[in-house]
Amino acid sequence: MDPTELRAAHGRLADAASLPDLGAPVDGGWDADQVLAHVLSVDAGVAAAALAVVAGSRPGYDNRISQDRADLARIVAAHPGRTALVDAVHGQAEVLCAVAEQLDERSAAVLVPVLLVSDGAVVVDRPLPLSALIEGLATDHVPGHTRQLLGLRRPAADLR
């Protein structure tokens, strides 16, 4: 698999996360650190599933742990400061991209049972090709969280 798009999506996420004017969410949602912790958790889980496929296992992928606020708090606490968290997300993205680069066509086509939940609603509950799971990160998941981070920007007047 070619992870070029996935790397680019993570680059845009890192750029957004590095903006100095990210405030608290007004809707009770995640703050910037929680968004980054979530992306880190998702990337690690998908990389683990991909490595399991390469090893001959037939793993599943369930994103619910990546939305658990206690787990997100643990991840944030393990990476004090936004820069450390951005660096950790970048490092985990590189692991995922390195694994994706090693997937041959046969491995990329392996069906992985996937459960994706968003805002308490089941979005996907069916087997997906491993390649679709990884590509979905590049085309939907990471860009969506980049937009979420940009939505946390405070007006310049609020920065005084």
DSSP string, 83-125: HHHHHHHHHHHHHHHHHHHH--HHHHT-EEEEEEEETTEEEEE
The tokens describing 123, both together, are 């979005």
pLDDT in tens, 40-69: 999 999 999 999 999 999 999 999 999 999
Q: How many domains does the chain have?
A: 1
Question: What proportions of the chain, in percent to the nearest 5, are helix, strand and coil?
Answer: 65, 15, 25
**Could you give the CA distance from residue 63 to residue 143 in angstroms, rounded to a whole number?**
17
- 156 pLDDT band, cuts 50/70/90, is low
Point out the least confidently predicted range of 23-27, 79-83, 116-120, 150-154.
23-27
What is the β-pairing status of strands 121-129 and 111-118?
Answer: antiparallel
| R_g of the chain computed on alpha carbons | 16
**Could you give the CA distance from residue 82 to residue 13 in angstroms, rounded to a whole number?**
13
* Residue 87 belongs to domain spanning: 4-159
CATH of the domain at 89: 1.20.120.450
* 151 Cβ contact list (under 8 Å, min separation 6): none
Question: Does the pLDDT value for residue 159 go beyond 90?
Answer: no
| Average pLDDT for the chain | 94
